[in-house]
Each structure stands twice: as structure tokens, then as C-alpha cells.
Amino acid sequence: MKLPIYMDNHATTPLDPRVLDAMMPYLTNQFGNAASRNHSFGWEAEEAVENARKQIAKLVGATAREVIFTSGATESNNLALKGVAEMYAERGNHIITAATEHKATLDTTKRLEKHGCRITYLPVQQDGLVDLDMLRESITGKTVLVSIMYANNEIGVLQPIREIGKICRERGVLLHTDATQAVGKVPVNVNDDNIDIMSMSAHKMYGPKGVGALYVRRKNPRVQLTSQMDGGGHERGMRSGTLNVPGIVGLGKACELCGAEMAEESKRLRALRDKLRAKLEAELDELYINGTMEHRLPNNLNISFAYVEGESLLMGINDVAVSSGSACTSATLEPSYVLKALGAGDDIAHSSIRFGIGRFNTEEEVDYVAQKVTQVVKKLRELSPLYEMVKEGIDLSKVQWTTH
């Protein structure tokens, strides 16, 4: 076993060597511009791009022509939200999203608010899922788009996208889903799931960074987007810019591998995730799982170790790469807004750790991580005045704290 152990696969995933092999020719000899129409260099590049388009489409049940290449999920989310808001401005200006979306969605809707859009931020229930009745009630005659993520990047919960899509269809509203964490991990099908627009990213599924895609439905309904970047009119006019051929080839290959191996891989990851959870729960008390376990990515575990602060825990397990919702680990010095949205209280957010198990993690690594986390949590609880107070029978919610 090699240290450090990488178990932060919701942040990014390592490149699968098979993906790198597929990309290599396009980083070296086959360097052509896919838009060059009059020589073999261009034709080769174009063929590779079209092959990737098919591989991506196959994984999500789309047709190749519905796949638009972008620089990643952030750009895809921007293009989906801004593109719809602009294209359908005459029809309405209302967009519905959720409080636990990724910042690539929330920061985009914030900007749209400044430009005259009205945005509804649906709260989530304690399990992390949106309330379908609340969604139904939020749709008005002015609503043009619902944007709800498929799987959450922190707590891994899977939103009921199929049902959300059904509601959107009934009401004639478009559905965009940020499926960055879901595609390649769980079965996603744009037709079965009633999805009109969908964001994807390569580096979350063992592909390279800097490349992603946006699925844009062409039939029933035909979705149109106003492009957000002017240029040569690539990608059916929706996204100008010379195509990142090696990246696109990598994304295509990554999708092909995920499609071929998903059933087996998700079974293996689920077993590892459940083992990690069982080992921690056998050794430690006062653990809180954030978000529902029932509707969740197989490789995600988000646990709060009560009375232990997240950053100090990360410091103790410094040969294991995971992340925390603690304020001290965020650039804003605010605890995770996703965990806060679950209504569990800031202290739970400060104590949270996100484990993201990936394709290259082994059972031995999971055992090591479980043992190491247990050891450090025990040590930090020895140091924790809160754990001591609770053990003395003090109700922490009744204590007069000196907030600062």
C-alpha cells in the first residue's frame, strides 16, 4: 500500500491509464484542428471528436448530435442557465433551483438575478432531497427552467430527477440537471429521466481536466440556447472555440469505460463504502451520516464526527486525502452551505468529513483509513471540552456560549 491515500474522488479523479492511452496520439502526431475541412489532419481530428460524441451519447441514452463540448461542468452549467434565460426571455424570467446546488449553478443564478431573472431556491429536506410538492407549487406561468443536480458533490444524494422531469414535462418547463457527479457512476438516461439539458465533466470520471459536455435535447422538445461566447460558431453555434481534441477523446474513452464497468464497479465501491462506515461505527459513538443513505452515490460517505473539528481531524490523518465541510477548510471561512441546508446545525458541518471512494482505491486502503480516522477521532475527543461536557451529561444546546 502506498501513502498518501487519495480518497477525495468527488473533487477529482485520477486519469485512467486507458484514457491516457486513447488521448496520447492526439497530444502528439494527430494534432489537427477538427474544424480543418481540407486536409487529413483535420479529418482525423474530426473523426476522433465524432467518435467521442457517440461514446458520450451512448452512456446517457442521447444521440451524438445532442452533445456539445465545453471546458467542463462549470462552463456547461453557465451555458445552460444563461443560454436558456436569454433564449426564452420572452416566454418568462423565472428559474427554479435548489439550495444545495454547486456554486457553478448558484453563482450563475445570482448573476441572472442581477439581470432581471427571478430565481426560486428550493430548500431541501433533512435527507438532502427536494420536496416534489414544493417544486410543483413553485412553478408559475413565468417559469422557463428548473435546474436540479443529479447527485450532490458533498453528500452524494441522488435527487429524484425522473419525477422532477415528469413534473417539468407536465408543466411545459425545461429541466437542466448538473450530472457531474452522477454520469459514469449511476445509470443516467436522458429519455427515461426526462432531462432536457445536462452538464457533464470528464475529470470526475477518470478523464482529463478541462473538458466537459452539455447535452442539449433536439427533439420533444427541441431546446435552443443562446451562445455565451462569440467565435467561429462551433458546436451547432452554441459554443465557439477550437475543440480540445485530446480532452474530448479522453472524455469519450472515460464514458466508454464507465459504461462497460459501471455495474461491477458500483457494486465494489458500495461494498467498500459500507465497510468503511461499518468499521467507523463499530469503533466510535456519536457519528452522524449527512444525507440519505437510501438514494446516494455508491462511493460517497459524508459523516460528522461530533465534538471533533474537521480541519483538526484532517490534520491528524494527513496521509489520507479527504475533505471537510468545516469552515476552517473553506476559502470563505464559512461551514458547508450544503450541510447547513440539511438543517443539522453549524456544529455538524464543522465536524464533517467527505469520503469519496474511487476506481483505484483498494480494500486495504479502506481498512487503513478506517483505523486511522478512528485513532485520530479518539485522540481529538480526549482533547475536546465538548465531548467531556456531553459525557458529564451537560446539554450543549443549553450552554451560554460566548460567540465570537
Partner 1 sequence: MAYSDKVLDHYNNPRNVGSLDKSQPNVGTGIVGAPECGDVMKLQVQVNEQTGIIEEAKFKTFGCGSAIASSSLATEWLKGKTVDEALAIKNTEIVNELSLPPVKIHCSVLAEDAIKAAINDYKQKAGTKAPETTAQKA
Residues of the shown chain interacting with partner 1 in the complex, contacts defined by CB under 8 A: 307-309, 311-312, 315-316, 326-328, 333, 335, 345-347, 350, 382-388, 396, 401-404
Give me the least distance between CB of 103 and partner 1, in Å please.
20
Is residue 190 packed enough to be buried (19+ CB in 10 Å), middle (13-18) or exposed (0-12)? buried
Give me the least distance between CB of 346 and partner 1, in Å please.
4
Give me the least distance between CB of 244 and partner 1, in Å please.
32
**What whole-number distance in Å separates Cα of residue 119 and Cα of residue 105?**
11
Q: Helix (H, G, I), strand (E, B), or coil: what is residue 109?
A: helix
* DSSP single-letter state for residue 140: -
Give me the least distance between CB of 308 and partner 1, in Å please.
7
By beta-carbon proximity to partner 1, the closer residue of 38 and 397 is 397
CB 326 within 8 A of CB 302: no
CB 182 within 8 A of CB 158: yes
Q: Letter for the amino acid at 401? A: W
Q: Which three cell numbers stand for residue 121?
A: 431556491
**What whole-number distance in Å separates Cα of residue 329 and Cα of residue 333?**
7
By beta-carbon proximity to partner 1, the closer residue of 261 and 346 is 346
CB atoms within 10 A of CB 290: 29
By beta-carbon proximity to partner 1, the closer residue of 287 and 386 is 386
By beta-carbon proximity to partner 1, the closer residue of 28 and 397 is 397
Give me the least distance between CB of 290 and partner 1, in Å please.
16
By beta-carbon proximity to partner 1, the closer residue of 270 and 379 is 379
**What whole-number distance in Å separates Cα of residue 315 and Cα of residue 367?**
19
Q: Which three cell numbers stand for residue 161?
A: 430527477
The reply to whether 258 belongs to the active site is no
**What whole-number distance in Å separates Cα of residue 188 and Cα of residue 17?**
24
What is the rounded radius of gyration, in angstroms, for the C-alpha atoms of the chain?
22
Q: Helix (H, G, I), strand (E, B), or coil: what is residue 394?
A: coil
By beta-carbon proximity to partner 1, the closer residue of 273 and 350 is 350
Report angle CA 56, 57, 60 to the nearest 5 degrees: 90
Give me the least distance between CB of 16 and partner 1, in Å please.
30
By beta-carbon proximity to partner 1, the closer residue of 116 and 385 is 385
Give me the least distance between CB of 43 and partner 1, in Å please.
49
CB 399 within 8 A of CB 43: no
Q: Which three cell numbers stand for residue 273?
A: 463504502
**What whole-number distance in Å separates Cα of residue 353 and Cα of residue 348?**
10
Among 117, 168, 258, 328, the active-site one is 328
Sign of CA dihedral 10, 16, 19, 24: positive
**What whole-number distance in Å separates Cα of residue 356 and Cα of residue 377?**
19
**So which residues are the catalytic ones?**
328
